[in-house]
Structure 1
Amino acid sequence: MINKIILILFELGYGIKFNLIGEISISEIFLIATSFFYIKKINFRKNKEIGRFTILYTLLIVIQIITEIAIDNNFNSAAKGIAINILSYLHIIFLYTYLKKSRSLISFALLGLILRFIIFGKDIESINIEDSAFIALLKFTLVPILSYSLIFLASTTQKWKTEYIAITLGILLIILGARSGGGIIFMTGLLSYIKRASQQLHFANFKIVLIIASVSIYTSYCFYVNQVLEGKIRSGNSEQLFRAENPYNPINLLMMGRSEVFVGYQAFTDKPWTGWGAWPKDPGMKYHKLQAKINNGKYNIYNILYDEIPSHSVLIGIGMMNGIFALFTMMLIFIYIIYMAKKTLKTNDAYTYVTVAFLIDFIWTMLFSPQSAFRYVVPIEMAFILITYQKYFVFKRIHKKYAKNHLYYYRRHQRHSYS
């Protein structure tokens, strides 16, 4: 019982924040204070997966320190950038030590996360200035609560067909204006359903189902765009569709909705070796003007919330801030998690919906969410995918090897007993 309460309070505590150089939560202060206790429990030589993560995180932090010194960034900004990755690593280690006891404890971490969104809402840096009050509430509070509630439901019971609820709810949220949030919930439900159905399908039939699903998704997207352009759907930031050169091209709409990512990539290519440093100021507002150009809108300094170079992507952001070697290291972490999730989804695991939801959200967050997301929700997803992978491809192998050795010595002892 104590483990469940700790996980709930720990994830809830991320909503209680203080200013200490940068913003830090009470849970992160707890992490720093107790990190040695959790780290010493892990045998890094035998636990290859945790060992690889430790090497990659250490390399990333060392690269950050070198590049921040090389460009002579101010101490506060540099410390904030480095702290994100340190706290992300400690968050993973903390959750891993509990999930290793039982994966079912993930539901209590999720419960703490849901309570955090209910009580404290969403971080202001994620909110789009173009969103109305209702859309901001829908996208940044209600959607996360609904999304994680579905994952919580799937992690606690198999009686509910969570994927059906997710498909229906996802479509409804898209219509209401939460395009990306609703789309993630819809895709999670659809892919979970396909995964469950594929257990009775041959591989050839499975490919046909994927093709049909892809065509259906794009057809639904075109129908949505058509309804917006005809004025039948006015919710959400529909103005982006009217400004897009080709609204029927999802990539074009993505460029409108996540223009910061493309701008961040341009800033990275302008200074690829060392990057600009953590939270760099936009020189002459060059990149904000480029963002306005991508959005087919006018640059207006009064509509700018921050004067830093925009990136809004964990992956692109680390490259823009700390250069190509930091980007490459973060890419290795990104690919490694996807690899483990993909391997896990080939099994008939009871937590399939949870893994699919975490994988889709992980990919989206790494590509299209601000740098701070790497220390909050992403570690929950990474820790769960890691422990699930080990359950099927590490722990079982160790158990089989132990059982084989035990049987060998048992039979040897029997032979000696009869001789």
Structure 2
Amino acid sequence: MNLKKLSFPLIIGLVSAQKINLVGELYLGEIIAVAYVIFNITRLQLSKVERSFVIFALIWACAQLVSDIFNRTELTDALKGIFAPLVFITTFIFLINYIRNKPERLPFLLLGFVLGGLVRLLIFPTPYFLYNPWKWGLGSSLLGLYIIYFSFLAKKKNNIILFMVLMLFFAVSLYFDGRSMAVFPLISALMYIKFHTNKVSSFSTRLSGKFSGLKILLIVLPVLFVVNAAASAFFSSPMVLSNFSSAAAAKYRAQASGAYGILFGGRSEILVSGQAFLDKPLLGHGSWAKDKSGYLDAHSILRYQLGYSSLREDGQYEDFDSESLIPAHSYLMGAFVWAGLFGGLFWIIVLNNVIKVFIKNINFLPFYFYAGVINFIWAVFFSPFGASGRWGSVIFLAAFFSYIDYLNSHRN
């Protein structure tokens, strides 16, 4: 291994993970990507699936443009909304080509991204990071470094040590109010231990092929129901809550006591964003869609009726949100609400391909991709598509499809 040559991807990752503010938040890596694609346009290589991502990203951007014209969106908001899919797909093209040319770059590039993000937070901390460093950067950075080391650099992979490390991470993250970041790595580890065999299993054979997405859905829905019920009971227990900080305990108790359990309590925006999409399914409400039809009030009333919040002394609901945007805490619903049907199609196409390819190759993938797929699926349905989400997701997608290409080339 030529460490001198591999130090360059590490530096690229460190630099790329820094942010600047140009109309909206941009990573230096996104600017590098745009320059790279412009100057190497004739040498870029994309598979059939990757080209389809480009096509649907362009459709999304065009749909957003039409929506913003129709809704008379402010220019600065429109620019951020229209360029989001264009920057995303350009960064994807850059990373795919950069990694694919020399696959050994991948772990060092990933390490650079994680270390660069951590350095940025320590030097320029966000208000969220100052309030809860573990949940808003420190925990995920430390976890990322360990996962990259275990997946790509460790000579011997001890699954027992992996599970013990993640159990410790689970306990610390729960204490600091990071439920999803606590639970998802453990689920990923259980899947990895079960399915990583270096030979094709009956599981991947049965679930791959046609209707793989529907097959997965039929498995996931009942599992989610059971997990939601168990988690709601767990986080309603005074004995359990006594082990958490007072703020985390209060939040867990409120979300677990609602009519539909803790999962819905944490992501109830989907009902409101679903209604907003149905109100304007083709054109959407425009970039950074302002609430002009009472969706925020409807969301607050709904949470109160379902037992997830209460009335304050001033007559407002306990979780009243003074923000003026239509609530859409989801990549998918955000695109549907902002740009209409042709915006959300991009995420449906990408998600479908990620699940199909993951199931087909599940027995051969490093642990990094088990954790990445679960986080990506969650983000598509339950996370906002801001700068951090855009950056983290494009890194995962580029790494994933580059590694799949590497696997396929070594099978032939």
Q: TM-score per shorter chain, which class? A: 0.7 to 0.9
2:170–2:186: 8 Å Cα contact kept in structure 1?
yes
Tell me the CA shift for residue 259 of structure 1. Answer: 2.8
Aligned to 2:153: 156
Specify the code of the residue in structure 2 equivalent to 1:195: F
Aligned to 1:33: 35
Structure 1 distance, partners of 2:126, 2:276, is: 20
Structure 1 distance, partners of 2:96, 2:377, is: 20
Higher relative contact order (CA 8 A, sep 6+): 2
Change (3 A) 1:197 1:271: same
Specify the code of the residue in structure 2 equivalent to 1:49: V
Change (3 A) 1:335 1:272: same
CA RMSD, 1 decimal: 3.7
Structure 1 distance, partners of 2:228, 2:286, is: 39
Tell me the CA shift for residue 264 of structure 1. Answer: 2.3
* Alpha-carbon displacement from aligned partner over 1:182-224 (angstroms, at most 9, x marks no partner): 11111111111111369698769x99xx99x999967973663
Structure 1: runs of 5+ lacking an equivalent: 401-419
Structure 2 distance, partners of 1:87, 1:214, is: 33
Aligned to 1:256: 265
Structure 1 distance, partners of 2:90, 2:286, is: 23
Match of 1:224 among 201, 217, 234: 234
Aligned to 2:298: 290
Change (3 A) 1:10 1:228: farther
Structure 2 distance, partners of 1:96, 1:126, is: 33
Change (3 A) 1:233 1:12: same
Specify the code of the residue in structure 2 equivalent to 1:297: S
Aligned to 1:410: none
* Alpha-carbon displacement from aligned partner over 1:117-167 (angstroms, at most 9, x marks no partner): 32223999995xxxx966x22211122113312321122124133642454
Aligned to 2:81: 81
> Does residue 1:113 correspond to 2:113, yes or no?
yes
Aligned to 1:405: none
Tell me the CA shift for residue 321 of structure 1. Answer: 0.4
Structure 1 distance, partners of 2:91, 2:26, is: 13
Structure 2 distance, partners of 1:91, 1:80, is: 16
User: Structure 1 residues 220-229 or 371-380, which shifts more?
Assistant: 220-229
Specify the code of the residue in structure 2 equivalent to 1:180: S
Structure 2 distance, partners of 1:29, 1:200, is: 40
Structure 2 distance, partners of 1:358, 1:274, is: 32
Specify the code of the residue in structure 2 equivalent to 1:363: I
Structure 1 distance, partners of 2:357, 2:127, is: 28
Aligned to 1:416: none
Aligned to 2:171: 172
Specify the code of the residue in structure 2 equivalent to 1:385: F
Tell me the CA shift for residue 323 of structure 1. Answer: 0.6
Q: Residues 366-381 of structure 1 correspond to what in structure 2 (within 5 A)? A: 366-372=380-386, 373-381=388-396
Q: Residues 11-30 of structure 1 correspond to what in structure 2 (within 5 A)? A: 11-30=13-32
> Does residue 1:98 correspond to 2:94, yes or no?
no
Change (3 A) 1:244 1:25: closer
Tell me the CA shift for residue 255 of structure 1. Answer: 2.1
Change (3 A) 1:201 1:21: closer
1:64–1:82: 8 Å Cα contact kept in structure 2?
yes
Change (3 A) 1:307 1:268: same
Change (3 A) 1:103 1:238: farther
Tell me the CA shift for residue 181 of structure 1. Answer: 0.7
1:229–1:242: 8 Å Cα contact kept in structure 2?
no
Change (3 A) 1:215 1:375: closer
Match of 1:365 among 354, 376, 379: 379
Describe the SS at the equivalent of 2:285: coil
Change (3 A) 1:148 1:262: farther
Aligned to 1:140: 136
Change (3 A) 1:253 1:36: same
TM-score relative to the length of structure 1: 0.78
Structure 1 distance, partners of 2:241, 2:95, is: 47
Larger Rg: 1
1:63–1:322: 8 Å Cα contact kept in structure 2?
yes
Structure 2 distance, partners of 1:201, 1:336, is: 20
Tell me the CA shift for residue 283 of structure 1. Answer: 2.1
> Does residue 1:311 correspond to 2:328, yes or no?
yes
Structure 2 distance, partners of 1:32, 1:388, is: 22
User: Structure 1 residues 20-29 or 190-199, which shifts more?
Assistant: 190-199
Change (3 A) 1:231 1:331: closer
2:332–2:380: 8 Å Cα contact kept in structure 1?
yes
Match of 2:250 among 239, 244, 252: 239
TM-score relative to the length of structure 2: 0.79
Q: How many residues are matched? A: 380
Structure 2 distance, partners of 1:91, 1:228, is: 47
* Alpha-carbon displacement from aligned partner over 1:293-324 (angstroms, at most 9, x marks no partner): 32423446996463222212111100010111
Structure 2 distance, partners of 1:158, 1:113, is: 22
* Alpha-carbon displacement from aligned partner over 1:350-402 (angstroms, at most 9, x marks no partner): x4201111111111122222112453011111112212333344x368xx5xx
Structure 1 distance, partners of 2:281, 2:98, is: 39
Structure 1 distance, partners of 2:203, 2:357, is: 21
Structure 1 distance, partners of 2:5, 2:279, is: 48
Structure 1 distance, partners of 2:64, 2:85, is: 10
> Does residue 1:275 correspond to 2:284, yes or no?
yes
Describe the SS at the equivalent of 2:346: helix
Describe the SS at the equivalent of 1:19: strand
2:17–2:113: 8 Å Cα contact kept in structure 1?
no
Aligned to 1:414: none
User: Structure 1 residues 297-306 or 80-89, which shifts more?
Assistant: 297-306
Change (3 A) 1:2 1:282: farther
